[in-house]
Structure 1
Amino acid sequence: MQKPGKKLSFLIAGAAASALVLSGCSGAGSTGGGDAADNTITVLMVGNPQMEDIQKLTADNFTKTSGVTVKFTILPENELRDKVTQDVANQGGQYDAVTVGAYEVPIWAKNGWLHELSTQAGADSAYDTADLIKPMVQSLTGDDGKMYAAPFYGESSFLMYNKEMFEAKGLTMPEKPTWAQVADFAAKLDDKNKGVAGICLRGLPGWGEMFAPLTTVVNTYGGTWFEKDWTPKVNAPEFKEAANFYVDLVKKHGESGAPQAGFTECLNTFGQGKAAMWYDATSAAGTLEDPNSSKVAGKVGYAYAPVNKTEYSGWLWTWAFAMPKTTKKQDNAWKFISWATSKDYEKLVGEKLGWSRLPSGKRTSTYSIPEYKESAKAFADITLGSIENANPTNPGLQPRPALGVQFVGVPEFADLGTKVSQELSASLAGSKTVDQALNDGQKLAEEVAKNYK
């Protein structure tokens, strides 16, 4: 069987080289993070609210006490994935710490692209690795049993809804809704005259954008990307039914500009009161409950991820800090990573920015903090329940060939998922049918399957 990690490394290296030529070598002059004696580290992060918070807090807190200056680069999710993959896989050495997810870490650890962090974490009693939530640690563990990234926050997915809009229509959201119920609610709450969508769902292409929520819909409808023996099922009836449902729901009752709407756009849409419901990451709740950034703070209800044929359907994800093998500043990089993922950092966020904004979902102790429990009482229990009930081994109705709820844990999936999402985003825009998009996707999946048959 072909080793997919080596294949991906070759493909990415070529893509990265091309990207550097096209970008005019914008990263030139930054190899290995600079002189090892320099107390400055470079950190690449995804542009989510939790990362924007740590950027605000670092200079006056971490740098002030450690003497380590941090230069941040923050990018939208799709751009972040491209940039970090190019740099880490191509051994570019531009960054000392990067945010990566549960999909990348086991693959990259196997390829030898990351420093293991278990040794440093275990040697630091104050870090308290035993406090980290087990599913999060497991998702960041290599074949050797060592942790190759430290979770910054963990999440599953759930349904968020505007309680005022539901009350105005006399509607009641069940704790565990079905997708049929959600579609019915969306039709009743859609108010285009007021610029309010019935629901917001990601339509932005990307395996980690559109297909994060959509793959959970596929799972609960009885579909799968691949069967246990790697038989591709992208154009199977169950996959088509789920994708048609998703696309039709967005086209009829979703947000305007859906093909360009990802996590950030839906966060803004729902947070500004322009959507009645939003199915997405549990980590969004902290921002929605902050009155400084949300018009719906205190008005949001939370329900488990909608289902069809399964009992639960929430995904499992963590954004985590990893240390590329190319860094020459391991000690300072670990100082930052351990601070960013510590109990003390959570306390700092609570005291400085508000307790609902804690980067939660990674530490058991978080859910015992009185101030957090009070500020997050609307969503804390259902967040933890969603995380605990996510099943990366068997998230649907049939056995899977690789781990992952909203992704398939093999290197080729990033390219496969992104290409199929581009086809489906075109369906949202009306340029092709969903069935046509998935028939094309089946051919791509058959090529992936050849590596494992």
Structure 2
Amino acid sequence: MSEFTRRVALRGAAGLLAAPALVESVGAQQAFDWKRFKGQRVEASLTANPRSSLLIQHQKEFEELTGIRVGAEAIPEQQHRQKFAIEFASGRPSFDVVGISLHVSKRQVGRAKWTTDIRPLLQDPTMTAPDFDFADYGSGPVEYSTQADGRMDTLPEFTDYFILYYNKELLAAKNIAVPKTFDELYTAAKALTDPAKQQYGFVGRGLRNANVTLWASFLLGTQQRDSVSPDMKLLTDTPDAIAATEAYARIMRECGPPGNVGFNWNECQTTFMQGRAAFWIDGVGFAAPLEDKARSRVAGKVGYAVSPAGPAHHHCCLFGTAFGISEQSKVRGAAWYYLQWASGKQNQLRYLTSGAGAPARTSPFRNEEAIASSRFPREFFTTLVESGRIARPGLPEIVPVTEFRDTIGTALTNCIGGADAATELKRATEAFRPVLEQSEKAS
């Protein structure tokens, strides 16, 4: 180095020392350390699903990266909701990280302030990895993870769009095109129903509570779209709600397998995998087993399309999950590190390419190499992108979501059995109205 260059460098260093704010800024950029919480242990309470399985399968990566040990437990969805609500209410939750279904528990968790506002963590360069890239999250998932008061008390994980699965072989045998509307879906399903062969045109959730998410797909296509108004008025016995119920019940009753009033997603998935249903509307996260040649008779024969359009609008149901950090956690820093890894780009890409569901980040959809090498056809990925453009929440953001699903779900189950939709919905609406009103008074 020449003397001139050395003097310039020294002057530059002196100038830097004279600017403490700048030094602090540069130092902060270098201050993040994955080993900062080495030796700590994080307990994670997750919902049992393909995404949690992937995280548990790969958590050794996180442990080696950070030196933080993880105790992760995956619990069936309904049990998990009850468990974390009880533990949070006790003030002594056994977990530091919790997986939350926003479409069910967002308002409950937000109102009670059970989970930490992560905005300060995101803004702290000593706590957030420089390559975390929060801007990579879609605006929809970020909005879903944000409470009405502005607190972002969860980190987006997964966006679950309801899509139309179809059996290419069954449609081709009768030269039937992929339906674009619910009316076309019914016509096609009716033509493909042959009980003598144990072949049915449509399979869908009929089980009380679970059935509300499928019914919402029909309601979103009406002029009304929503089941609860922004000012918390019930819209479940209106002409549009009745019409949606009649369309839902008709296809379930006339084109579905016997006993479908007891079907949740797993019974639907099994029926479709066995090649006994032409169409199935449900979440994208249930796609992976369909393409498993060792388990599925329809592997390689599955078609994917956006949910059909209704008479007034074209939407698909959006549901979402996210991770929260317990306000009671004594290892919040380590828990935040776990969230960064769990919802990082690598795991989000794993979700997409394995068929475990649509990630909350946008970068996986741009990874052409990974998509090309996936066992899923390109149609699967384009369906997810198109669904993202037409998605709307499939359940109202209210505290008593479970009671809503139970009450309306009972009416829907009765309608599949042949009961009058207007009568059933009026009864269910009157039964649920005081529950909703009481929950709002408590807010």
The amino acid across from 2:76 in the alignment is P
Number of residue pairs aligned between Structure 1 and Structure 2: 395
* d(CA) in 1 for partners of 2:246, 2:288: 31
Equivalent positions of 1:112-151 (< 5 A) are 112-122=113-123, 123=125, 124=128, 125-151=130-156
The 8 Å contact of residues 284 and 356 in structure 2, kept in 1 or not, is answered as no
The amino acid across from 1:441 in the alignment is A
| Deviation (angstroms), 1:443 | 0.6
* d(CA) in 1 for partners of 2:395, 2:187: 28
SS of the residue corresponding to residue 200 of structure 2 reads coil
| Deviation (angstroms), 1:56 | 2.3
| Deviation (angstroms), 1:77 | 2.6
Is the alpha carbon distance of 1:236 and 1:116 closer, same or farther for their aligned partners in structure 2, counting shifts above 3 Å?
A: same
Show CA shifts across 1:221-252 (max 9, x none): 34442345544332222212211221221122
SS of the residue corresponding to residue 220 of structure 2 reads helix
The 8 Å contact of residues 159 and 360 in structure 2, kept in 1 or not, is answered as yes
Choose which of 177, 182, 187 in structure 2 pairs with 1:184: 187
| Deviation (angstroms), 1:371 | 3.0
2:390 counterpart residue number = 389
Choose which of 424, 427, 440 in structure 1 pairs with 2:427: 440
* d(CA) in 2 for partners of 1:270, 1:70: 36
SS of the residue corresponding to residue 316 of structure 2 reads coil
* d(CA) in 1 for partners of 2:117, 2:416: 42
The amino acid across from 1:138 in the alignment is E
Is the alpha carbon distance of 1:191 and 1:173 closer, same or farther for their aligned partners in structure 2, counting shifts above 3 Å?
A: same
The amino acid across from 1:66 in the alignment is T
Equivalent positions of 1:407-422 (< 5 A) are 407-422=395-410
1:304 counterpart residue number = 306
The structure with the larger Rg is: 2
* d(CA) in 1 for partners of 2:355, 2:221: 30
Is the alpha carbon distance of 1:42 and 1:147 closer, same or farther for their aligned partners in structure 2, counting shifts above 3 Å?
A: same
Choose which of 324, 335, 358 in structure 1 pairs with 2:326: 324
1:71 counterpart residue number = 71
Q: Which runs of 5+ in 2 are unaligned?
A: 1-36
| Deviation (angstroms), 1:296 | 2.3
* d(CA) in 2 for partners of 1:256, 1:337: 43
Is the alpha carbon distance of 1:50 and 1:270 closer, same or farther for their aligned partners in structure 2, counting shifts above 3 Å?
A: farther
The 8 Å contact of residues 155 and 318 in structure 1, kept in 2 or not, is answered as yes
The amino acid across from 2:346 in the alignment is D
Show CA shifts across 1:157-176 (max 9, x none): 221101111001111114xx
Q: Percent identity?
A: 23
Show CA shifts across 1:176-201 (max 9, x none): x1111111111111232333321111
Show CA shifts across 1:263-289 (max 9, x none): 233223223323211111133334433
Equivalent positions of 1:10-409 (< 5 A) are 39-58=40-59, 60-103=60-103, 104-122=105-123, 123=125, 124=128, 125-174=130-179, 177-206=180-209, 209-223=210-224, 224-227=226-229, 230-291=232-293, 293-346=295-348, 349=350, 355-357=353-355, 359-374=357-372, 375=374, 376=376, 377-391=378-392, 405-409=393-397
Is the alpha carbon distance of 1:307 and 1:75 closer, same or farther for their aligned partners in structure 2, counting shifts above 3 Å?
A: same
The amino acid across from 1:46 in the alignment is T
The 8 Å contact of residues 46 and 99 in structure 1, kept in 2 or not, is answered as yes
TM-score normalised to the size of structure 1?
A: 0.79
The 8 Å contact of residues 204 and 260 in structure 1, kept in 2 or not, is answered as yes
Is the alpha carbon distance of 1:112 and 1:131 closer, same or farther for their aligned partners in structure 2, counting shifts above 3 Å?
A: same
TM-score normalised to the size of structure 2?
A: 0.80
| Deviation (angstroms), 1:426 | 4.3
- Comparing 86-95 with 134-143, greater Cα deviation is found at 86-95
The amino acid across from 2:208 in the alignment is P
Q: Which runs of 5+ in 1 are unaligned?
A: 1-35, 392-404
1:27 counterpart residue number = none
The 8 Å contact of residues 106 and 142 in structure 1, kept in 2 or not, is answered as yes
2:27 counterpart residue number = none
SS of the residue corresponding to residue 273 of structure 1 reads coil
Show CA shifts across 1:293-352 (max 9, x none): 5432321212221122233220122221112222222123222221111112245x38xx
Is the alpha carbon distance of 1:286 and 1:420 closer, same or farther for their aligned partners in structure 2, counting shifts above 3 Å?
A: same
SS of the residue corresponding to residue 383 of structure 1 reads helix
Aligned alpha-carbon RMSD (Å): 2.7
* d(CA) in 2 for partners of 1:429, 1:83: 33
* d(CA) in 2 for partners of 1:117, 1:304: 33
The amino acid across from 1:341 in the alignment is S
